[in-house]
Amino acid sequence: MDLAFLNAVYANGGPYVCAYLDTSRTAEEPDRETARRSRRVCEALVDQGADAATVAAVAGVVGCDREIAGRHGQAIVAVRGRVVLAEELPVPPARDEAAFTALPDLMPLVVQFAPGIRYVAATVHCLPLPYAEPADELEVACQAGVWPGSAVAPGDCHLMRGPAVSWLDGAGQEAADGIAALACSTDAEAIVLAGIAWVRNVLADNLDGRWRKRTVTCDGDGYPAPRGRALMEEELAAAFEGRLRSADRARVDLFQARRTGRHGAVEGLSDAVAALQRSQAGTLLLNVPVGFPVELRVGVPVLRTGPPEADPGPYGALGFCAGPAGAAVIRAAVRTGAELIVVPRDQLPLTDGLGALLRYAGPERAPHPHGPAVG
């Protein structure tokens, strides 16, 4: 996963307001429930010393972007009266959280966006015409996305229609070409087909060899999608369960080979942090569920409500005193341009749940006598 989209969060320094909320629309009165959660979060931030302008900025974006059906959440980061990040989360947080802090904890956000597989979903269904047989007209709906983030941030849904009688006489090829063109333009690595079995089989047969090898067919229809949700969400979840991007799978294999040879890879929180300090970590590997064993000690002054200190560079403020290690690790990865791969623990158990592929040869172990520290 490329973490460059988080650069703007750290651009101006803190202190930050960081909030995670359940904005699901499953309650009897969802708008009232969201407003109640927003008030509680804002009250907690005021109690922690956050300024009124920043609290108001957070309140202004809670649940207001668009209406999304079902269960979901929202992550918000704001600083000095301005929201610098507001992202929809496919899964709501276990509980609403809000912190006024020197460093925002973005670990829960990035974990939800992994593995980040680019795909095209296509499903075919009958479109009855007036006074005609139900199967006289067929419609193909297709949509590109990046799984699983696009579950609650879907792209445009493209529709292609045609008579069923012409499906074997060119219409199937035309639809397959349209799906392949969308996959090419979005750099997709998978096509997922659903809907009427014989029609999706025609689609698969009409894809060229490059895409046929990357195609997954599944039962179900998935159309129409609920408001604000991705097309074929359940089918996509089943197709991508436990799967990594192909590039990430190659990096995981490389990490395992280097780990065996004890060169070019490190493992454990202390050694991974040391590699980040040297800007040596090219790719971080992170186990889920996340469970770092310790907090990360850093050389940052105690949080003040006055003007923030000037940012001392990539390493001088990678975390905050007695704070979560995950917050510091993610910031360090963003600031040093390291990519992130989230790997289920049962696929690749890592010491402390963290490992790193190194960009260049050099010292790969830097023991910390009092535990990991940055600053």
Q: How far apart are CA 255 and CA 198, in angstroms?
A: 42
pLDDT tens digit string along 60-74?
A: 999 775 689 999 999
- Is residue 286 within 8 Å of residue 352, measured between CB atoms? no
pLDDT tens digit string along 146-203?
A: 999 999 999 999 999 888 777 777 778 999 999 999 999 999 999 999 999 998 999 9
Q: How far apart are CA 304 and CA 161, in angstroms?
A: 61
Residue 314 pLDDT > 80: no
Residue 129 pLDDT > 70: no
Q: Which of these CATH numbers, 3.30.420.60, 3.90.1150.110, 3.20.20.70, 3.90.420.10, describes 117-240?
A: 3.30.420.60
Comparing 85-94, 204-213, 357-366, the range with the smallest average pLDDT is 357-366
> Tokens for 298?
């850093």
Domain limits, the chain: 4-101, 117-240, 246-374
Q: Which residues, 6 or more positions from 229, have their beta carbon under 8 angstroms from its beta carbon?
A: 68, 69, 70, 151, 152, 154
Q: How far apart are CA 128 and CA 31, in angstroms?
A: 36
For the chain, give the percent of residues with pLDDT over 90: 70
Comparing 31-45, 211-225, 242-256, 359-373, the range with the smallest average pLDDT is 359-373
Residue 317 pLDDT > 60: no
Crossing angle for the helix pair 172-185 and 197-206, to the nearest 10 degrees:
60
Q: What's 321's DSSP letter?
A: T
pLDDT tens digit string along 187-243?
A: 999 999 999 999 899 999 999 999 999 999 998 888 999 999 999 999 999 999 999
Indicate the pTM of the whole model. 0.85
Phi, psi values for residue 203, rounded to 5°: -60, -50
Residue 303 pLDDT > 50: no
What mean pLDDT value characterizes the chain?
A: 86
Query: Per-residue confidence at 294, pLDDT binned at 50, 70, 90?
Result: low
Bridge partners (DSSP) of residue 344 are: 288
Q: Smallest Cα–Cα separation from 71: which of 43, 120, 116, 112?
A: 112
Q: From the centroid of its chain, how far is CA 296? A: 24
Q: How far apart are CA 185 and CA 269, in angstroms?
A: 39
327-333 average pLDDT score: 93
Residue type, 80: R
CATH 3.10.129.10 fits 246-374, yes or no: no
113-141 average pLDDT score: 82
Q: Smallest Cα–Cα separation from 115: which of 74, 157, 145?
A: 145
Evaluate whether 117-240 and 246-374 have a shared fold.
Answer: no
Position 347 scores a pLDDT of 92
Q: 291: burial class by Cβ within 10 Å (0-12, 13-18, 19+)?
A: exposed
pLDDT tens digit string along 7-27?
A: 999 997 889 999 999 999 998
C-beta atoms surrounding 353 within 10 Å: 23
Position 127 scores a pLDDT of 76
C-beta atoms surrounding 110 within 10 Å: 22
Q: Which has more pLDDT, 28 or 78? A: 78
